[in-house]
Amino acid sequence: MLFEVETPSASSDEGLPSSEAVLPSVKVIEGSPSSVAVSAAKIIEGSPSREAVSAAKVIEGSPSNVAVSAAKIIEGSPSREAVSAAKVIEGSPSNVAVSAAKIIEGSPSNVAVSAAKIIEGSPSNVAVSAAKIIEAVSAAKIIEGSPSNVAVSAAKIIEGSPSNVAVSAAKIIEGSPSNVAVSAAKIIEGSPSNVAVSAAKIIEGSPSNVAVSAAKIIEGSPSNVAVSAAKIIEGSPSNVAVSAAKIIEGSPSNVAVSAAKIIEGSPSNVAVSAAKIIEGSPSNVAVSAAKIIEGSPSNVAVSAAKIIEGSP
């Protein structure tokens, strides 16, 4: 998605280039960048599509095709997400590859679980071998905050209904995940589909095709954004390469920014690493060390996960 530049009246230097601009250490406000490659970025209030974000937090967005590693995705419905050590909350993930995840309140089907405890569920075709993994986090605690550059391993996924979940060392309680491969992750209230997430938390978002590393996507809809350790908030950047920049309420296009914060934008195709995705609808999200909350992931591959309140 490409949008015109909306420069804030507060400062003229915060205007955003429309195409092919390399802005190290830049703050972009009130814009909708397209195809943004952002390093160390937080994406909030956007709907990123096909985003590979490194160390980014995306809040309140619906990213699609985002590669997220060590991200927290909350309140989103990512599709085809491979999640490793992720927490998916309030979603129904299907075909999500999650490592070190806990899936709670989901109805997983065809779940291969190793070392797992399944409580209050009706699992079908579940291979479980002894284990309960609850919020195994590596050097990270995410509590009611908007962290950027969050590297989280072994997260908790609660209240999701992943499908095609392969879970190793997981506990599935009150969830309906199907064919989900989850490793040491907890999926809570999320509906990601085909999400590749490693130790990530996806909250209130429906990312699609998102490959995010240690990222949190909240309330944003970035598309084609390559973001590394960035925070994108309330922006819709598309095709923006951002290095060490903060983009707030701006519409940069084709901006090269590293370590940026994008606010009030809807970037698509964002590559985010170490990001938190919250309140978005990413699909096909590859997230490492992520927490997915309030999403409906589908086809989640989760290993060493706890699935609670589901009917696998």
Asked whether residue 8 is assigned to any structural domain, the reply reads: no
Beta bridge partners of 81: 195
Place of tokens 């085809």: 80
Asked whether residue 17 is assigned to any structural domain, the reply reads: no
Asked whether residue 279 is assigned to any structural domain, the reply reads: yes
User: Predicted confidence band at 275 (pLDDT cuts at 50, 70, 90)?
Assistant: very low
- Of the listed ranges 10-14, 57-61, 85-89, 126-130, the least confidently predicted one is 126-130
Asked whether residue 20 is assigned to any structural domain, the reply reads: no
By the 8 A CB rule, do 68 and 287 touch?
yes
Range of 183's domain?
Answer: 26-308
Instruction: Convert the pLDDT of each residue in 217-239 to its tens digit.
Output: 322 333 323 333 233 322 333 32
Asked whether residue 44 is assigned to any structural domain, the reply reads: yes
Asked whether residue 4 is assigned to any structural domain, the reply reads: no
How far is Cα 159 from Cα 176, in angstroms, rounded to an integer? 9
Percent over 90 (pLDDT), the chain = 0
How far is Cα 312 from Cα 306, in angstroms, rounded to an integer? 12
User: Predicted confidence band at 305 (pLDDT cuts at 50, 70, 90)?
Assistant: very low
Asked whether residue 78 is assigned to any structural domain, the reply reads: yes
The pLDDT, as a whole number, for residue 158 is: 26
The pLDDT, as a whole number, for residue 124 is: 29
Check: pTM over 0.75? Answer yes or no: no
Beta bridge partners of 96: none
The pLDDT, as a whole number, for residue 190 is: 33
User: Predicted confidence band at 183 (pLDDT cuts at 50, 70, 90)?
Assistant: very low
How far is Cα 281 from Cα 220, in angstroms, rounded to an integer? 9
Q: Angle at Cα 301 formed by Cα 203 and Cα 230, nearest 5°?
A: 40
Mean pLDDT over residues 151-177, rounded?
29
User: Predicted confidence band at 27 (pLDDT cuts at 50, 70, 90)?
Assistant: very low
Mean pLDDT over residues 34-60, rounded?
31
Asked whether residue 120 is assigned to any structural domain, the reply reads: yes
Nearest residue to 186 via CA among 47, 83, 36: 83
Q: In total, how many domains does the chain have?
A: 1
